[in-house]
Amino acid sequence: MFTLPDLPYAYNALEPYIDERTMQIHHDKHHAAYVKNLNDAIDDLQQINKLTIEQLLAQLDQVPEKVRTKARNNGGGHYNHRLFWMVMSPNPEGALRQAQGNLATAINGTFGSFEKLTELFSAVALSRFGSGWVWLSIENGKLKIEDSPNQDNPMMEGRIPILGLDVWEHAYYLKYQNMRVDYIKAWWNVVNWAEVERRYKEAVQ
Ligand code: MN
């Protein structure tokens, strides 16, 4: 059985960039529903329900066809939101934070600069049509920006996501309405680069 993890900070901790009410509904309703529906889907499958979420997403083709779409959508929903909460952290000082260390070096090598990374990533986030996610992922040790529909993620295609942005309307509509562009801009202020770098090191080691 999968369980809903607590947020690693208070609901209002990401204010003013992400509002308390959005965080409450997003975590307590949306993420909780993905966990419940995932458990319901695989409850009586002995081989499957002992896997970690990473194992499950890496081998969705092993899931019986009749529950595979449910496992994909809700398993992806669980994994993606768990990552999303972790790669954000409060920023009471309000200064824009940047990647450090090995990750910063890799970003500069791949995209030219940190600013270029945020520009490219933001452009993909803005142009993503419909519900989905934008990712910074690792493929063969190299950084890659990509997007995915619904609750899909790079892990389903053998890559390792280290940063993800939820661009479903439920992630921003209460505060930003149709202004996804403002949500994306605000979100950079709460990216937890220490956690992203930890995931980067783990992925490339
Ligand atoms: Mn979401």
Each residue of 137-165: b (16+ CB within 10 Å) or e? bbeeeebebbbbeebbbbbbeebbbbbbb
* Ligand 1 centroid distance, CA of 112 (Å): 30
Bond before 16 cis per omega within 30 degrees: yes
> 80 C-alpha vs ligand 1 centroid, how far in Å?
8
Q: What is the pLDDT of residues 63-93, one digit of tens each?
A: 999 999 999 999 999 999 999 999 999 999 9
CA of 6 to the centre of ligand 1 (A): 15
**18 with 90: CB under 8 angstroms?**
no
Residue 32 CB neighbour total at 10 angstroms: 14
Distance from the CA of 26 to the center of ligand 1, in angstroms? 6
- Rounded mean pLDDT of 11-24? 98
pLDDT one-digit tens code per residue, 145-175: 999 999 999 999 999 999 999 999 999 999 9
CA 153 – CA 129 distance, rounded (Å): 16
Are the CB atoms for 183 and 175 separated by under 8 Å?
Answer: yes
What's the 77 CA to ligand 1 centre distance in angstroms? 7
CA of 202 to the centre of ligand 1 (A): 25
- Alpha carbon 68 to its chain's center: 21
Q: What pLDDT does 5 receive?
A: 98
Q: What is the pTM (predicted TM-score) of this model?
A: 0.97
Q: How far is the CA of 132 from the centre of ligand 1 (A)?
A: 9
203 CA to centre of ligand 1 in angstroms = 24
Determine the distance separating the centroid of ligand 1 and the alpha carbon of 150, expressed in angstroms. Answer: 10
With a CB cutoff of 8 Å and minimum separation 6, the contacts of 53 are 2, 75, 78, 79, 82
